Amino acid sequence: MPTTHTVSQELKDMLNDAISRELSVSISYMWQHVLMTGVQGFAVRDVIKKVSIAEMKHAEDIAERLVYLDGKPTTKPTPIRVGEALEEMLRIDAEQEKGAIELYKKIIAKAEDEGDTVTADLFHKILADEEDHHYTFTGLLAGV
């Protein structure tokens, strides 16, 4: 069903970049949750699992928006990074969230520039989640 709102291919490509990132971190965090051991690992594994599920939901929400905008969602994640020890995993996670925050701010600006307030609103909500995830991972790192 065609949309009544036309957006640039550049914005659609940015949404696919976001989907790729969300798929990647969802897989990464899920494997970290499964692989975590030791007292510290068991203390944070449920938090990591919860974030993984939230990231998959982000991928779904972005894909639904992209389809509405007559785009085709990617199924290819960006490179998946898991890490070995808990501290390395949390550093990777904080870095991944920082990258998402930077990308999503660009998507918001591009969507607003194109008059696509729905996409901008969606990414404002996702950005708030990503900032919370970044805060969670940096906070957990402080305790390792």
Helix locations, the chain, DSSP H: 9-35, 38-68, 86-113, 117-142
| Residue 58, phi then psi, degrees to nearest 5 | -60, -45
In tens digits, the chain (144 residues) has pLDDT values of 455 678 999 999 999 999 999 999 999 999 999 998 888 888 899 999 999 999 999 999 999 999 999 999 999 999 999 999 999 999 999 999 999 999 999 999 999 999 999 999 999 999 999 999 999 999 999 988
Spell out the CATH class of 9-142: mainly alpha
Rounded Cα distance between 125 and 83, Å, is 28
